[in-house]
Every structure is written in structure tokens, then in C-alpha cells.
Chains A and B, each alone.
Chain A
Amino acid sequence: DAKTTQPNSMESNEEEPVHLPCNHSTISGTDYIHWYRQLPSQGPEYVIHGLTSNVNNRMASLAIAEDRKSSTLILHRATLRDAAVYYCILRRRGSQGNLIFGKGTKLSVKP
């Protein structure tokens, strides 16, 4: 499975936008980009996924580079509740298997 690289930690101010980067230079054409986040003392929760085009949902936006070798998760207005570890994961299309988690990015949000 292709590997992802994320910064260990990032800081943000409350109510400001946050851009969480992810590099995946060995991504294949059939790999979807998934983002999960894990709030303190919780299991991971799905945030968003995409293949080639940028995606928006109620939680976040996903911007995918044209060459697909990197992507950015965008939280438009960070809240204290968004403080979590964010994981960028590649998953092959049609795969029914496991999610391969790295160490993720720990996001801190300051009031």
C-alpha cells in the first residue's frame, strides 16, 4: 500500500481556517484519499474522501493536487472541538480491507 506523510503536529486559532497537508507521492490511479480524525478518548471518525476532484461536506473540504501526489484537508473555521489527531489514508478502489493508519497530525486549537 502506498504511504502517506503528514506533519506531526499543527496549531490553529479558534474560528480561523486550518489547512492540514498530506503527501502521497507513490499514490496509484485507483487509490482513494481518505481522512479520519480521532478526538481525545474516542475512536477514529470518518471525515471525507476523494479520488481526483476536490470534495466538500459538512465537516470539511478536501483539496487534491492535480498530480494527486498531495492533498489538503481544510477546516473552514476551527473550533475547540476540532482538536484531534487527523489521519490521511490511501485506500484502493474496491478494497474491502483494512485502513492503514500512520501517526497522523495532532491539531491543537487555541481559544
Chain B
Amino acid sequence: DAGVTQSPTHLIKTRGQQVTLRCSPKSGHDTVSWYQQALGQGPQFIFQYYEEEERQRGNFPDRFSGHQFPNYSSELNVNALLLGDSALYLCASSLTNAIEAFFGQGTRLTVV
């Protein structure tokens, strides 16, 4: 089992551009959550997907959107990038009702 895999590992974008980050959950996991982690801070919850629907959302603007596919993989899209969007983006997967969440290694996004 490859665990949670995220792509790409690093990305540099220009302010105003759009970006798509991808996540493949651990085998069999049906729930995917996305987090943003600024330097020196703990991860902040963006949103969670279950059964291809957004189930819960954190305090992030509509520029942040997502999608979950029938195979449970997920994408995070960010439009109109700001310098402040530079961060490590983490994907976590779990089984519904399970205690433990499994995190990927993240995608490091730099906006210049």
C-alpha cells in the first residue's frame, strides 16, 4: 500500500494564476480532507470530501475549491493566487467513522 500520495511535490506559480493539486488516498479510504500549513504554523483545515460531495468546509474563501472522483481521489483548485497562498498543502484520507487520519507528504506551493 502506497499510502496517501500527492502531486506535484513542489510548484511555483505567479500571482493571479490558478493551480490544481492532486491527492490519491490510502487504498479503500473514502474520505479526503485538505489542509493548508503556513511556515511555522499547524495545518489549517480547508475542506473535506466524502462520496464526491463537500461535507465540511473551513474558513477559506471561494477561491479554494475541490473535487472528489468516484475512485476517491481528489483535487484542490486555487484560483487567483495570492502571495499569501504560499504554503504546504496537505491531503489526509480516512475511512468514514475511523479514528485515524493518514496524511500525505504535501505539495509545497510557492506564489511569486
Give A contacts to B, CB under 8 Å: 32, 34, 41-46, 49, 85, 87, 94, 96-104
Contacts and interface: CB of A to CB of B under 8 A. Distances in A.
B41 A98 contact: no
B68 to A, nearest CB: 15
Nearest to B91: A43
Interface of B: 4, 31, 33, 35, 40-45, 48, 50, 55-56, 58, 90, 92, 96-97, 99-106
A16 B106 CA distance: 31
Question: Which 4 A-B residue pairs are closest in the complex by CB-CB distance?
Answer: A43-B103, A101-B42, A98-B45, A46-B100
Contacts of A103: 40-42
A44 B56 contact: no
B56 A99 contact: no
Given A49-B99, A96-B96, A98-B48, A87 B42 contact: yes
A97 B43 contact: no
B97 to A, nearest CB: 7
Given A44-B90, A96-B55, A101 B101 contact: no
A97 B48 CA distance: 7
Contact of B105 (A41, A96, A102): A41
Contacts of A104: 42
